[in-house]
Amino acid sequence: MKIEVLGQTELRLSNWEEDGIDIVLGKLPRFSALAMFIASLGRCTFAVIDHYALRMDVEIENIVTHLEWEFDEDPTRFKTIWMKIYWPEIPEKRLASVERAAHKCAISNTIRDCVDIQVKVIKKVYQES
């Protein structure tokens, strides 16, 4: 799996089937615990989607997940997490069901009462903006 830290509150996950973890920091000096938590949410969500894809017989090799988040204060905590799942092979009629399934991972279930997690599945190849 490849984790690209794009900024203080943004990262991208890809190359899911590769052994090991490749962390690309960009301009940041380290992979923070908070970025690690967000990456864990993305990986956990992918595990659910991978199972879903297996049942539908849909390829997963081109899935790219882009995550952004914002904090709340007093106490400091995650406020909102935006997850965009780019999956060009997903059938159009399955987009909504995959978005629902994405909320079924254990991490999402654990934090959903205190963090707003918004998931959007996009049927196209990820392109950097």
Taking only the tens place, the pLDDT of each residue in 61-97 is 999 999 999 999 888 899 999 999 999 999 999 999 9
pLDDT of 129: 67
Structural domain includes residue 19: no
3 assigned to some structural domain: no
Q: Which residues of 33-63 are buried (b: 16+ CB within 10 A; e: fewer)?
A: eebeebbebbbbbbebbeebbeeeebebeeb
Task: Please count the structural domains in the chain.
Answer: 1
17 φ/ψ sector (left φ>0, alpha ψ -120 to 50, else beta): alpha
Kindly state whether residue 113 falls inside one of the protein's structural domains: yes
> Which pTM was predicted?
0.93
Range of the domain at 73: 33-122
User: For residue 67, what is the domain's CATH number?
Assistant: 3.30.300.20
CA–CA distances in Å: residue 79 to residues 21, 58, 75, 86, 92: 27, 33, 11, 23, 30
